[in-house]
Amino acid sequence: MAANKMFDVAGKHCIVTGGAQGLSRGMAEGLLENGCKVVLMDVQKEKLEKVCEEYRAKGYEAWPVSGDLSDRKDLNRMFDDAMKILDGRLDVLIPAAGIQRRHLPEEFPENEWDLVININLNHVWFMIQRALKVMLKQETRGKIITIGSMVTWFGGTTVPAYTATKGAVSQLTKSVAVDCAGRNININAICPGYMDTEMTANMTQARKDECTLRIPQGRWGTPDDLKGIVLFLSSAASDYINGTTIPVDGAYLCK
């Protein structure tokens, strides 16, 4: 394929979870701006519908499917609804919805542990499994992009559940790649560094400044910073890249 066509994703059918805001919204927006049809999923129904309406007003193919991805039944219903909107074809899956809960390990509430695992790990796995059943029957290549974090590599403070899930997502990505790379599937993980979203909005300014000092590029990331890597991993340009875990972190990991 000529290199000037390699990044062309126009017309691809995609699902992005967590799309009402933040990084998922940014990633979905990148795909929409490049001509994809995207189903955005989120538990924040009104916000999600408004976001999709705004995109459709710009001529983009953005469609909302609301529901709770921590609930297995709802997840399956949401996937079925998405496949109806996408006419049964799925080219790109980004199961990016995630939550973070902060407590000291000895005080971490059981229900919050279960919730974090259910969204950050279980929803990722069950979405991947549903997607594979569609993608493996298609002639064209299926692309799956999972979302890790800096805590895929090291331990974060007061986030044992979050850290466990982000390590697990990277290993899950490798495992699925081993079984599916030879069957027309690419699955890779993106690991964002410190990104300016609702998830990090409750950090104190002092803690934020401390983090900024440790980022060699000297600034926090934004949802726009993920558009390039998502375009790359969704397109033919990345066809021989599989099972990798790619930091998008302004060199945070290097220091």
Q: Which chain residues interact with ligand NAD by CB under 6 A? A: 18, 20-24, 42-44, 68-70, 96-99, 119, 147, 149, 192, 194-195, 197-200
Minimum distance between the CB of residue 149 and ligand NAD, rounded to whole angstroms? 4
Least Å from the CB of residue 195 to ligand NAD: 4
Among residues 27 and 132, whose Cβ is nearest to ligand NAD?
Answer: 27
Check if the beta carbon of residue 123 is closer than 8 Å to that of residue 43: no
List the catalytic residue out of 162, 194, 240, 252. 162
Pairwise CA distance, residues 137 & 115, whole Å: 32
Residue among 14 and 236 whose Cβ is closer to ligand NAD: 14
- Nearer Cβ to ligand NAD, position 18 or 250? 18
Angle of helix 22-33 relative to helix 45-57, nearest 10 degrees, comes to 20
Name residues whose C-beta falls within 8 Å of residue 216's C-beta, 6 or more positions apart in sequence. Answer: 250, 251, 252, 254, 255
Q: How far is the CB of 67 from ligand NAD (least distance, A)?
A: 7
Cα–Cα distance, 26 to 20 (Å, whole number): 10
Return the number of the residue (8 or 108) whose C-beta is nearest ligand NAD. Answer: 108
Nearest to 233 by CA among 150, 172, 144, 140: 144
Would you state the structure tokens that stand for residue 31, as one six-digit string? Answer: 């795909």
- Shortest distance in whole angstroms from residue 198 CB to ligand NAD: 4
DSSP SS3 for 143: strand
- Closest contact distance (angstroms) between CB of 141 and ligand NAD is 24
For residue 118, give Cα distances in angstroms to 39, 124, 135, 137.
21, 9, 24, 28
55 is catalytic: no
Half-sphere exposure of 148 (CA within 13 A, CB side): 29
Please identify, using beta-carbon distances, which residue of 24 and 238 lies nearer to ligand NAD: 24
Task: Catalogue the active-site residues.
Answer: 162
